[in-house]
Amino acid sequence: MKRCLIVDDSSVIRKVAKRILAGPDMLVGEASTANEAIDICRHEMPEIVIVDGLLPDMDSADLIRRLVAIDPEAKPHIVLCICQFDVGRIMRAKRAGARGFILKPFTREQLLESFREFDVAA
C-alpha cells in the first residue's frame, strides 16, 4: 500500500485531496503545518508528499529540503501545490527536491494525472 501525506494549512484542500486519493491502494495522511509534516515523516516517510506552496510556518522549499534530508534513501515523490504559476517558486522547490507541481484548485483528473507522471498512480 502506498502512503501519501498532504501538507496544507487549508483543511478544505486536505479534505478534497484525501477524498480523491484515499482508497484500497493508498493510505492518505494530513499535516496542517511544515513542522507537523516533518514529525510525521521522521516516524515513517510516505512515498508521496503534496506540499502547499505557502505554508504559515516555513518556506515550502525549506520543508522539501528537510524532508529529503530525513532519509536520503527514501526518495519520496514530492509535488508542490500552488495557487498561481510562479516559475521562481517552482524552480526553488525543484532544486530542493520536488519532482513537479500542481495548480490549485485541482480537479480529480489533474491530481491523479500528476501521480501517473511519477508512476505512483493512486
CB neighbour class for 55 (10 Å; exposed up to 12, middle 13-18, buried from 19): buried
Average pLDDT, the chain: 92
pLDDT value at residue 111: 82
User: What is the phi-psi region of residue 78: left when phi exceeds 0, alpha when psi lies from -120 to 50, beta otherwise?
Assistant: beta
Query: Tell me: the pLDDT tens digits for 58-107?
Result: 999 999 999 999 998 888 999 999 999 999 999 999 999 999 999 998 88
90's grid cell: 517552482
In the structure, what pLDDT confidence band is assigned to residue 113 with cuts at 50, 70 and 90? confident
In the structure, what pLDDT confidence band is assigned to residue 119 with cuts at 50, 70 and 90? low
Pairing state between β 26-31 and 2-7: parallel
CATH of domain 2-117: 3.40.50.2300
Query: Residue 60 and residue 54: Cα distance in Å, rounded?
Result: 6
Give domain limits for the chain: 2-117
Residue matched to cell numbers 517558486: 89
